[in-house]
Structures are given as structure tokens and as C-alpha cells.
Structure 1
């Protein structure tokens, strides 16, 4: 028997093949978020057509958005760039408060939380620090900067008023010419930063990703280039790697795939749209990757996660860049935000929604299919499923020992048929959900599906 994988009480998704040993007439299917429309216009004088690099943070049902504001095209890290702030009580309806922190164009009536700090405002990217040892006045942390400055660390008690952690940069071994993201990893017990790097020498390769880690947010390890398995290199303009809030041991990378010189919009069409002349020679879309730490991404799907929308305004350079973080915006719903209409007067942030855990599913059609897991060890008393079936569909669960032999009391014949569409459903065998006698022991799970999708499961 192979060494069993320890999953504890973690929720397991199907964004990677981590637990899968065999599929028989079943597949792993990616699901595409639903467009819910515009939620935030970049329409203030200090924001504008080149606003970008959005971060969305949710805390106890309150939402904060941070993004670069700059109304005209210019060199990365130019003095016109500021960091803007918006907030929401539901993640759907957003407001831009007058914060009174910085004077812009002779007035402090604005939503700017960082100014006069170029090039750090080019890509300022904050996070809510979940490190249990974090100081209360450093509840929020951020990194910003380009290769010229290195990455400079900031802290904040309220997410609005920021100060440098130290004057000198905390990390300098990178290119940094896009959004460089960081967070506290519960599973790795350290800070992690994923940042822009390039394959090959200089700018002759592909825009790619490297990683560094830190115990104190000041001293960082030498960078490690991220691998992508056997998948081909593509230009990844942003990667937006962050822990998924319902399964923080899995980091989701919902990034922007950049297709340089793949021109869709003609010169005449660009003039009609009012696109800046430098920004319609390329196109981009949204991709989905994942990692469980270390130096490898799992790129299970090469297909687009979110395709550009209908209309040529969606096919310009540096549009369709997703915001950092997935957040819950309803009892059964989570949201992803994407900035669109880049380099146009209509530049804005758009919301897309999915069911909770609904990035991908174990799926089978009407003829039915099965999955057998690798051996694993769990902790808990119950097994919970997030699933959907058709009226004619069903799911059956069987628990086996580590060698794949049936366990009395947990066979498919003894299990209750699972039918319906629920975010949380306990699995029953012989009328009981209690699996505590198997907790801590190597087991496998066999899943039978008919016209059904399984989005996630967990023992707890």
C-alpha cells in the first residue's frame, strides 16, 4: 500500500488530481463563473482608463477593494499613480469614501490610501494577516514596488492608513513588473510571496512566476521559479495566488493569460472604441491553476476559466485581469472580480459568481462513472459532500481499507443514495453518519456518480 495522504479535516476540491488514483467513465470538469455585471467604475479623475491590479479583501462580511489609479498611460511606477480604496457591505454594491488622507488636485476629498510613493503605488497589493502572532497595529500588510525599488513592505491597523514597515525594501531578487502577491500560509506556517519573474534570460522568454517565503515578513528566502508540470509555458501577466477561504491549504491562482501580438481589434475599430493607441495589439483571458505550496503549480486545465466577453472592448491589451482573492458573497455563492475595458473611458471592475467550491467537479453523465482515491487518513466523525445531481441522477459513496477492500458497514449497498443539490450534505450508511471508528486509519473512497457533480468533500 502506498503511503497514505494525511488530509485531516481539510475540505478537498477537484482543482488538482492530488487524491485521485483512478477514474472510470468519470471526468474532472472545470466550471465557468457567471457574469453578474459591472460593480465599480474607475471614473474618478485620479483613477481612469489605466486603473488595474485590484485586490479584494473580505473580513466578517465587510469588503475592501484596493487598486491602482492612473488616468493616462505612462511608464511603470510614474508619479501620477496612486492606490485607491472602495468598500462594500455585500461585495456587490460598492462605495468610494472620502478618506481625507492625501491631497489630490488640491483636495483631500478622495478615496486614495497611498500617494506620492512611486513606484510603490504601481502595484500595491495588501492582505489581511491571519498570522496568530501578528501585532494588532499590523493587522493588514502589503508589498509594492518594481525592480527599481524592490518590494517594500507596509503595515496598517485599519486597512486605510498605511506606513512602511522599514525604509529599505524587504526583497529585491525579482522583476516585479506586475502584481506581486503575499499572504500568511496556515498550512506552511510562514509568509509566502508569489511574484513576477521571467523564463530564460531578460525579456526574451515568458512572463512567469517565482516564489519566496518568510517567517517575519522582513527576511525572505532566495527565490524559486515555479514549475507548471508538463504543460507548455504561456505568458502569465498576473497569477493572483491566494489560499481558498474554505480550504486554505489549497492556493488558487486565478490569473491573467497574456497573448502578446495577438491582435483582434483593427486600427479603425480601436479609434471608434477610443482605446489608447498602445493598448490593442494583444489580448488576455483568465486562467485557473492551483498549488499546495512548494515550487509547482498544478495546471489541470489549459482552457480559459473566464473568456473575454462579447464586444471588441473586451479584446484589448491588459483587459480581463482578475482581482486577487475569491470571496463569499451569499449563502451559497462566491465571487471573482475582473477588471475590463482597459485603456478605455469605460474601464471598470466586473463581478463573476460561482457556487461555493464550484471551480471544478468530479462529474459523470447518465451512463454513470466512478472515482477511486489514493489511500488517505482523515480526522472526524462525518463525511460532508457539496454536490448536485439531476432528478434521475445519484451519488453513492463507499469507504474501503487502504488496500481497497470493502469495510463492513460502509459499502455502497449499505449507503443512502445521495440525490439533490446541496452545499452541505452528510453521507449515511445504515442510517448513521458516524465514521469515527475509521478516523486516523488508512482508507480509500470510491465514488459512483450518475448525471451528477461532486464539487468538494470533507471529513469533520
Structure 2
């Protein structure tokens, strides 16, 4: 029989496992770690993983063109150098998924707030080529066309952008583009058929896994029964895809996930973030009289939705550390209708200190639009401690680099300190708490220094732990450079 680990009290007050030195150290390398899961955490004392909520910055893109309409949705935002590109479905009236009236629309912006819908001259809509559509007359792909900027170093210039779109009837159809505006099919038929696809089906090149990954709509029951859920498939060439694998969600209650919007976080691409739409069928908030006043489509106010945050480090596992809403529906009834509050795909940086996520709001109403929400860089969640303070002990890990960079904030009375320990939990001389001056402030990037300086290169590739003390502060991320 394997003996139980003996928990020994440290002088720090954190419990330390006598078997911990046998743990296989994590390999951080020089990757950034954000605190959206417990991957790096061994012990917490009076410290919590705190979910943060993006700030409402108001509507930025109205769906007001005749070919867009009340049911525009399934948005994707891509940063391409200095330009932000938006892609979304346009459709005047609700109808069967993939009907002939659906088009794929395009807009662009330099700051995420001011958007332009260029007259592209690609498709004739309502008798004119003066419109912002990139695809028209190509159902059912236009129902949920979802593109990405291909980071595969072997990607051909004429296939710098790729996309998937389609429904169960068609399967997923692959497209490619050199400029994100002019698109061609990559194969004559569908490239993947083993799903129901009645949502936005997202794909990307995974730098971490070295392959293309697609997360797509499935249901937990047969056909369209059970809960709306997610499965995953991978590909080496974007044409031939593996057998699908249903995603798992740990020991959490099942929920309808209408969209999942999984993509690599741009500052830590080994971590996939899913800012998805949680759908609550038949959870009605809007009354019949309210619906008439809002002028919402009669079929679209019997349910409600909000935005949630999940993460994954590859494979068939989502981490749902946070079951609470990431973005709640706004004040008033206009966003308590069916299929409102659906996040766009991707988080994009919009200033030196800020990143943004975009959300479809006031769905099925004449006021339907895309709204911008902002947050500090890396600011999805943090290790947070109150005024009386707390401590964190990490798992053993190895790193590569000469210095430790953190993203943090404190109150005027708060502070952080960081100690490096060996794998057994012994403070390493030169890097102890006593030798770490209090870290006070609010910075996206701060190099940690001890009395002997910031150079930690002599510990590189050696298993270490980190002890972090926090008082009235937050630690959002860390990275060795």
C-alpha cells in the first residue's frame, strides 16, 4: 500500500508535501503563464483565483445595411498587423440555417472602435456591387463562415488566411485567401462531415501542437438532442481531418454551449481561451409586452444567454475553473432575448495596455450591433489576495531565461514579494523573500529584482518553485525572459 503523503507545516504557514520533491517538474521554458487554471499552482493560502470582468465600451459596429439586418452574427475579429478585420453573417430575416439570403460581411478598423464597411465590388447584392460582402450566393457556408490568419510557417502566400463554414447538410467546406477578402475553395466538396455544425465552427494553426485544430458543434445526445456541446478534430493539411473527439469539462454541471470561440491566446499561444456563449433554453426574462416594445422577433425571446470563459492546453479537455459569467447581459431587457450576448471569435490587443473582446448584442432586434469590451492585457483572471495578505506556492518547474517578468497591480497599501526555492521547498540564497524588495504599483511588465539584482540565469533549467506573497494585490501573469 502506498503511504499517504505527510503534510508538513512550513515556516511560511503554507502546507508542504513531503513527497512533492518526487513530482515531475513542469517545463515553462520562456512561455508566459496566465492564471486561468491551476496548472502552475500547488498551494494557496488566503489567495484566490479571481475572475475579472471586461469593461463595457459601448456599441462599435451597427448591423444596419439592408443585407445585414437583425440576425447578423457569428463574428470573427482578426488582427492583421495594424488592421483589425471583422467577419460576420448578414441576413435580413430569420430562416433555415444556410438559406440563400445569408451573406458573409466584412468591416475593418485601426483601433477597434471606429469601423469602416468598404464597398468591395465582389458580389452583386440587391442589384449592386457596392457592398461589403466577401461571400454571397454560397449557402450554407455563409451561415457560419469562420476565418483565421494562418500562423503555420509552411502556409502558402495565397493561403495566408483559411476558413471553414457549413452545416450538417453540406459538411464543413474549406476556403483560403491571400488577403482576407478574396476567397476560394480549397477542395471541391466538404473536408469534414462528422458533426452537426449548427453553430460557429472555429479552427486555427496550433503553434504548440504543430497542426491545425478545429472545435465544432456536436450534441451530447443522438442528433439534436441533449446538450449543445463541442468536439475537436486535427489536421496536418487543413483538408484531411482526424476522427472527432468529444470535449470534456471536468467535474462541472452540463450546460448548453452555443458558441465556444476557442483560439490561442496571442501572448501565450500554448493556452487556448474559449470565450463562449452559455445558452439557457426556456429561461424567459422578456414578457410578451416587453417583446412588442423592443420589436424583437416573436421567436427569439423565450431564452437568455451570457458569456463564459473556459481554457484548454490542448487535447480533449476544457478547464472550467470559473462557472460564473465572464460578461453578464447588459442593463435593461434588450440583451435578455434569445441568442444575444454571443462573443466574437478572438481577443485582440487595442492599445499598449488594453485588449478587447467583441460581443453580439440586441439580437433579433432592429438595434442589433457589435459591442466592444476592454480589459487590461492578460487580465482575464489573477491570483488575488485581500488586505491581510496571502501566499501562493507553485509546483516545481524549470524555466529558460535571465529574468522574471510579471504583470501585476497593488493598492497603495499593498505589495507582492517573490521567493525562488529549490524543488524541495528550501529558499535559494540570493532569491529569498527577505532579499526581495516589496513590489508596489500597477504595471503590465515589471522585472522582479532581489538585493543581488534580477539575473536568475544560474537557476535556468534547474527545478525550482516559486513562493509568492500578495497583500491587497493581483498577479495576472509571469514569464521568464
- 2:443 alignment counterpart: 422
For 2:146 and 2:122, locate their aligned partners in 1 and report how far apart those are by CA, in whole Å: 18
- 2:109 alignment counterpart: 88
1:146 aligns with 2:167: yes
- 2:271 alignment counterpart: 250
1:385 aligns with 2:409: no
- Unaligned 5+ segments in structure 1 are none
Shift of 1:436: 0.3
- Structure 1 runs (4+) deviating above 6 angstroms are none
Q: Report Cα offsets for 1:372-395 as digits up to 9, x if no partner.
A: 000111110000010000010000
Q: Report Cα offsets for 1:393-436 as digits up to 9, x if no partner.
A: 00000000111111111100011210000000000011411000
Shift of 1:61: 2.0
Return the match for 1:376 from 368, 387, 397: 397
For 1:345 and 1:427, locate their aligned partners in 2 and report how far apart those are by CA, in whole Å: 52
- 1:171 alignment counterpart: 192
For 1:404 and 1:59, locate their aligned partners in 2 and report how far apart those are by CA, in whole Å: 45
Once the two structures are overlaid, the 10-residue window that deviates more, 127-136 or 427-436, is 427-436
- Unaligned 5+ segments in structure 2 are 1-21
Shift of 1:304: 0.3
Return the match for 1:194 from 188, 191, 215: 215
1:223 aligns with 2:244: yes
For 2:364 and 2:26, locate their aligned partners in 1 and report how far apart those are by CA, in whole Å: 48
- 1:43 alignment counterpart: 64
For 2:239 and 2:400, locate their aligned partners in 1 and report how far apart those are by CA, in whole Å: 35
Shift of 1:201: 2.0
Return the match for 1:289 from 310, 314, 317: 310
For 1:35 and 1:311, locate their aligned partners in 2 and report how far apart those are by CA, in whole Å: 14
In 2, are the aligned partners of 1:36 and 1:350 still within 8 Å (CA)?
A: yes
- 1:319 alignment counterpart: 340
- 1:214 alignment counterpart: 235
Q: Report Cα offsets for 1:318-347 as digits up to 9, x if no partner.
A: 000000000000110000000101000000
- 1:113 alignment counterpart: 134
- 1:4 alignment counterpart: 25
- 1:359 alignment counterpart: 380
For 1:226 and 1:63, locate their aligned partners in 2 and report how far apart those are by CA, in whole Å: 30
Helix, strand or coil at the partner of 1:313: coil
For 1:291 and 1:159, locate their aligned partners in 2 and report how far apart those are by CA, in whole Å: 27
In 1, are the aligned partners of 2:409 and 2:473 still within 8 Å (CA)?
A: yes
Q: Report Cα offsets for 1:263-294 as digits up to 9, x if no partner.
A: 00011110111000000000000000000000
Helix, strand or coil at the partner of 1:268: helix
Return the match for 1:100 from 121, 124, 128: 121
For 2:143 and 2:92, locate their aligned partners in 1 and report how far apart those are by CA, in whole Å: 13
For 2:158 and 2:131, locate their aligned partners in 1 and report how far apart those are by CA, in whole Å: 24
Helix, strand or coil at the partner of 1:314: coil
For 1:433 and 1:61, locate their aligned partners in 2 and report how far apart those are by CA, in whole Å: 34
- 1:450 alignment counterpart: 471
Return the match for 1:403 from 419, 424, 446: 424
Helix, strand or coil at the partner of 2:291: helix
In 2, are the aligned partners of 1:383 and 1:457 still within 8 Å (CA)?
A: yes
- 1:124 alignment counterpart: 145
TM-score with structure 1 setting the length: 0.99
- 2:7 alignment counterpart: none
In 1, are the aligned partners of 2:430 and 2:452 still within 8 Å (CA)?
A: no
For 1:310 and 1:391, locate their aligned partners in 2 and report how far apart those are by CA, in whole Å: 32
State the Cα RMSD in Å.
0.6
Q: Report Cα offsets for 1:40-80 as digits up to 9, x if no partner.
A: 00000000000000000001121000000001010000000
Helix, strand or coil at the partner of 1:179: coil
